[in-house]
Amino acid sequence: MRMKKHPVFYIAMVVCLLIVVSLASCGGDDPIADPDPSSPPESVTPPTISTPPPSITPSTPPPPPPPPVELFPYDGVVEHIFFHEVIAWPELAFNGNAMERGYDTNMVTVSEYIAILESLYRNNFILVNLNDVWSEFTNEQGQQRMRRNTLMLPEGKKPLVISFDDLSFYEYMTGDGFMEKYIIGDDGDIWAIGTDPNGNTVISQDLTVITILDKFVKENPGFSHEGAKGCIAFTGYEGILGYRTQFDRTNDTQEARLHRRQEIARARPIVQRLHDTGWYFATHSYGHIWLDSSSLDRVQTDALRWKDEVASLVGETRIFIYPYGSRLDNGDVWDTGPALRFYNNELGFRYFASVGRESFSRIKPDISAVMMDRMPVDGLALRSRRELFLRFYDAAEVFDHSRPTGNDSAGRPYEIAWQT
């Protein structure tokens, strides 16, 4: 069934036309030249995109407006998957040491990540911003509650949220095949810097999750709805994005404070650039703590530290991506205990995301919150959960065969469930 166009469509059309008119005016000798009389009025009938823009200097015609995209209502499942930072050099991550198993389980390699993005795009997924999927309203009792929005998407597109956990380049990852930090390039774009296996400094956009997705969307704009990219879930205990922005209580010297201020100053423009290019942020707790076994006091102290050291850098957020998938509700989406109430009432959080086998979500009836699960795209899923992810990608096609074989350092075998 073809549906009415969304009001945003018309607004976008009008804005495009206004931009075209102003560009044409600026570029011409006569700033008050009459606009093309064939242009349709702004409000009565929808403007047709094929109308040629008013031309003043024929030698430098303004760029044509983008083609119209008709939008259709979508109320189905919004898929939600997540990644960690990618392994840039598998030979360093998979070197047989004690960390190897953890990297194999929790991470994907660059080649796997790119192949998965390509498959998602081929399968008609489109990135949406989690904050647009639900919204808050006041019910008849005067209470704030959440409700699901009808998304307006291009025909045939399936909405997808991708979140990225722990993009901090933790100390333990140093030298293990990951880049070291995100930076701003001379072009104003985000890049990353690191050291390759030969000890050479590498500056690249091809070896980290953020920059690879940025490039992918630039090449395939149809993969992003209204410019949405991903949700980045930060802890704070070793800073963010490779910058040690945390306050170290055990080393509170003048020098340490100065260093911290410098790290914060270096991280800020990257955060700003992320904000400007469709990325948005979540808390992942400050200390990556086990929420279900932490006291209320510990949960509160941790939350306030995140607010102090990370929200001050990335801005306030209403999204909580649970560390370890451990939860504030005792594993029961109907349970609203004091820790969840604290995050909800005192800190204004509305979205609480754990980990599960499907893109589950449930609106809480008793408070203004949405509980959800995200599906982990990692080595464990690639090795043993092929079926679960087939609608996104086929593990047998994207699997990086530079992953370890044989046994890990504890003698446990590396297996691939789909390989006979």
Residues of this chain that interact with Zn ion (CB under 5 A) are 165-166, 323
Cβ-based neighbours of 236, under 8 Å, separated by 6 or more: 245, 246, 286, 287, 305, 306, 309, 310
- Which is closer to Zn ion, CB of 107 or CB of 192? 107
Ramachandran class of 11: left when φ > 0, alpha when ψ lies in -120 to 50, beta otherwise? alpha
Q: Which amino acid is at 375?
A: M
| Distance of closest approach, residue 288 Cβ to Zn ion, in angstroms | 6
Nearest-angstrom CA–CA distance, 217 and 232: 17
- Which is closer to Zn ion, CB of 121 or CB of 234? 234
Nearest-angstrom CA–CA distance, 246 and 284: 15
| Distance of closest approach, residue 152 Cβ to Zn ion, in angstroms | 33
- Which is closer to Zn ion, CB of 79 or CB of 165? 165
Nearest-angstrom CA–CA distance, 2 and 74: 12
209-219 and 110-122 helices, crossing angle to 10°: 30
| Distance of closest approach, residue 165 Cβ to Zn ion, in angstroms | 4
Neighbouring C-beta atoms of residue 334, cutoff 10 Å: 11
- Which is closer to Zn ion, CB of 82 or CB of 94? 82
| Distance of closest approach, residue 324 Cβ to Zn ion, in angstroms | 7
> What string of DSSP letters covers 31-65?
TTPPPPTTSPPSSSSPPPTTSPPP-S-TTSPPPPP
Largest CA distance in the chain: 79
Nearest-angstrom CA–CA distance, 248 and 320: 24
| Distance of closest approach, residue 142 Cβ to Zn ion, in angstroms | 38
| Distance of closest approach, residue 182 Cβ to Zn ion, in angstroms | 18
| Distance of closest approach, residue 386 Cβ to Zn ion, in angstroms | 24
Dihedral (C-alpha) 96, 102, 103, 107: value to the nearest 10 degrees?
A: 160
Nearest-angstrom CA–CA distance, 329 and 354: 11
Cβ-based neighbours of 322, under 8 Å, separated by 6 or more: 284, 285, 291, 328, 352, 353, 354, 355
Residue showing tokens 């092929």: 386
- Which is closer to Zn ion, CB of 165 or CB of 378? 165
Give, in degrees to the nearest 5, the angle at Cα 216 between 71 and 11: 30
- Which is closer to Zn ion, CB of 165 or CB of 309? 165
Task: Select the residue whose beta carbon is closest to Zn ion and give its number.
Answer: 165
| Distance of closest approach, residue 392 Cβ to Zn ion, in angstroms | 21
Closest CA to 152 of 276, 358, 275, 10: 10
- Which is closer to Zn ion, CB of 119 or CB of 245? 245
Q: How many CA atoms lie within 13 A of 375 on its CB side?
A: 22
- Which is closer to Zn ion, CB of 28 or CB of 102? 102
CB 200 within 8 A of CB 167: no
- Which is closer to Zn ion, CB of 285 or CB of 336? 285
- Which is closer to Zn ion, CB of 126 or CB of 291? 291
And the tokens for 39? Answer: 């242009």
| Distance of closest approach, residue 326 Cβ to Zn ion, in angstroms | 10
- Which is closer to Zn ion, CB of 245 or CB of 336? 245
| Distance of closest approach, residue 323 Cβ to Zn ion, in angstroms | 5
| Distance of closest approach, residue 321 Cβ to Zn ion, in angstroms | 8
